[in-house]
Structure 1
Amino acid sequence: MLEIDGSIGEGGGQILRTSLAISALLNKPVRIYNIRMNRPNPGLRPQHMASVKVLADLTGAELKGLEEGSTELIFSPKGGGVKNTVIDIGTAGSISLLLQAITPYCIFTGSRVKLRIIGGTDVKWSPPIDYIKYVAAPLFKKMNIIIDVNLVKRGFYPKGGGVVDVSFHPCDELKPIQIGEQSKILQIKGVSYAGNLPLHVVKRQAESAERVLKESGLIPANTPIEILQEEPVNVLSPGSGILLYATMDKDGLLGSDSLGEKGVPAERVGESAANSLISQLKTKAGVDQHMGDMLIPYLGLAAGSSKIYTSNMTLHTATNIMIVEKFLNVKFKVLGGLNKPSYIEVEGRYLNQLR
């Protein structure tokens, strides 16, 4: 049984999600201790327990220590098959973070897996579901990971109630990728949205983002900028947000997002997303900091040499690297450093060599 110290690196829920994702994929038990010990409220919280329960259901895993506040968990997968199912995370638990935990297992079941997931589509401390659809999924496809994401209904904090249909295509083998420094912005797209709020909120978010992008001096005047303005929808809790993403000339794809908050003008929301994208574009990186983090397990599982250039090497990414190295017995090389634009490379391994 592999043992993982949950207090290393960023010491949060990311360690739990990555460890369980690879444990389920390899069908190998894992013991995680010191779970979230670096946090003000250590141990498992309801949103973490949801991911554990879902993966346990999908894999037929035996669990020990699954209770709120627990700082130790033993997860022993049994390799059960996945059936088409409905997953209700409860309230506004992040659907995007749940997808990070279950995707590695779901793509390697040998058949298509279709899930309906109910929870939060646009919540703090996690990428919005549009990021998964418009940024993560296209980059995953370059590695032979095909995921169809269909947003049925948005769900904001605190009541959630968002609905997303996800279809995971079966994958036999991952392809290594090379996404280095970029030299040209091909286009910028985005989506501005709201629930239980006036249409002018959507328009102000989009227009302020476009204004900041055009005034930055970084983006050539002939670069297409298209930000979709969604009609506001009925939701359980009001909210708004915006996603921007830039397609680059050498397979690069950078995303940025911002969520609306009570008392924060819609213009500030749009400006925040635009300024974040601009700062990433200045690095000429091929992937943003979220994808730099999310790609790590797949790079280790893609036989051959992979290399990515991320706009910011976060502590989340560094922690993910530590976990993946321990599980897969691979060695990542990082040229750059923490909180800096960085190259990350690895010689991945075939999955059938690890099982």
Structure 2
Amino acid sequence: QKKMLEIDGSTLEGGGQILRIAVALSCLCRIPIKVIKIRLGRSKPGLAAQHIQCIELCRSLCKGRTMGAHIGSTEVEFHPQSIIGGRHSGDTKTAGSIALMFQAALPVALFSSSPVELSLRGGTNADMAPQIDYVTEVVRPNFEKFGATFEYELLRRGYFPKGGGHCVFSVRPVEKLKPVVNVDAGQVVKAYGWSFVAGTLPLRLAEQMAEGARRAMSKISLEVEEYKESASMAPDNCSGVVLCCQSSTGCLLGGSALGNRKEEPAETGRKAAREIKDSLALGACVDEHMQDQLIILMALADGESRVRTGAVTLHTRTAIHVAELMTKATFTLIPEGDNTIIVCQGIGLKNFHSLI
């Protein structure tokens, strides 16, 4: 049994991200952890329902045990065992993010003993978290470069405040992850996306969001599908836009935004477009929201990965801090003008389960 590692949950970004990465790496590296000062600087410190579900999902995946995993707790212990396949479920019972639960569980599932099915309930399109469409259309292709992929079935959308969304993910284990070199942004070859409304909101809001995005990206031909979700898929009110941009060198950038009553729909579209435009202007190969999600895969990969990003975000620095604390992976940040190359010597984690 490895010695318990204590992790300060108030470090750097100091939010739920530290917890998600630490618990995932605890499972993968079989290191028992104690996370202290969880979300200490937040308006409501400690664990929320969404964080507890992330912990419970990983606990289920590795037959582990926990102490202190309750609402408002600022300390939690996590004791992992071996990672197992099969069906695992998580339900925030709120609009807590399905995407963030999946973000914690996916790296663990990739090193399981057999295929994994994750049945997750909560919010699919919510503030302060990736929209589920960003996960499937932007995260998945970027993860596939490492040899990691998943299938999914979106059964119901869930919005703030009720939640009620349901998505089932299927993950095939890998033997190991490939290192990735992604440093040439190339030229834009395709830009596309989706603008949606749901519930009682009129389709014209989706049209206005799409038009705002198209005008903001006037130098690029942007195709946006405008649609209204069916009442059976999404009974509650919500609106939003998700955009993607492919380059000649295989880079895939994303941008997204949710509508709100205090903002013109066209501005929502412009916001999503600006996320992509800002990344393109910097010559980045991944967008701002993708960079921190790659850190755990870079740390686990078998060899040296290099990824060109824009300014390194606080979330990314936090992910690097936890990855270096818990693994022997080493990261180097090489500034190059307006962008940065993140270099990582990965640990080459191997999946020794006999069914691979």
TM-score scaled by structure 1? 0.93
Count, aligned residues: 346
How far off is 1:36 after superposition?
Answer: 1.1
Q: Aligned match of 1:233 in 215, 230, 235?
A: 230
How far off is 1:236 after superposition?
Answer: 4.6
Q: Aligned match of 1:206 in 198, 210, 232?
A: 210
Counterparts of 1:34 and 1:24, CA distance in 2: 21
Counterparts of 1:71 and 1:202, CA distance in 2: 41
Q: For structure 2, which runs of at least 5 residues remain unmatched after alignment? A: none
Secondary structure of the residue aligned to 1:139 is: helix
How far off is 1:353 after superposition?
Answer: 9.8
The 1:274/1:60 distance shift into structure 2, 3 A limit, reads same
How far off is 1:262 after superposition?
Answer: 2.0
Residue in 2 aligned with 1:250?
Answer: 249
Counterparts of 2:240 and 2:30, CA distance in 1: 38
How far off is 1:259 after superposition?
Answer: 0.4
The amino acid of 2:73's aligned partner reads: S
Secondary structure of the residue aligned to 1:143 is: coil
* Structure 1 ranges of 4+ moved more than 3 A: 352-355
User: RMSD over aligned Cα, in angstroms?
Assistant: 1.9
Question: Which has the larger displacement, 176-185 or 82-91?
Answer: 82-91
**Are residue 103 (structure 1) and residue 100 (structure 2) matched?**
no
Residue in 1 aligned with 2:165?
Answer: 162
The percent identity for this pair of structures is 35
Secondary structure of the residue aligned to 2:216 is: helix
Question: Which has the larger displacement, 148-157 or 179-188?
Answer: 148-157
Q: For structure 1, which runs of at least 5 residues remain unmatched after alignment? A: none
Alignment of 1:200-349 (within 5 A): 200-214=204-218, 217=219, 219=220, 224-234=221-231, 235-336=234-335, 341-349=339-347
Task: Give a deviation string over 1:303-329, Cα, whole Å, max 9, x none.
Answer: 111000112311010010000001112
The amino acid of 1:345's aligned partner reads: V
How far off is 1:60 after superposition?
Answer: 1.9
Does the 8 Å CA contact 2:84/2:114 hold for their aligned counterparts? no
How far off is 1:41 after superposition?
Answer: 2.1
Q: Aligned match of 2:140 in 118, 137, 144?
A: 137
Residue in 2 aligned with 1:191?
Answer: 194
Residue in 1 aligned with 2:56?
Answer: 53
Question: Which has the larger displacement, 46-55 or 237-246?
Answer: 46-55
Does the 8 Å CA contact 2:57/2:88 hold for their aligned counterparts? no
Task: Give a deviation string over 1:101-154, Cα, whole Å, max 9, x none.
Answer: 000111111322122211101001111001111111001111100111332221
Counterparts of 1:82 and 1:194, CA distance in 2: 36
The 1:274/1:309 distance shift into structure 2, 3 A limit, reads same
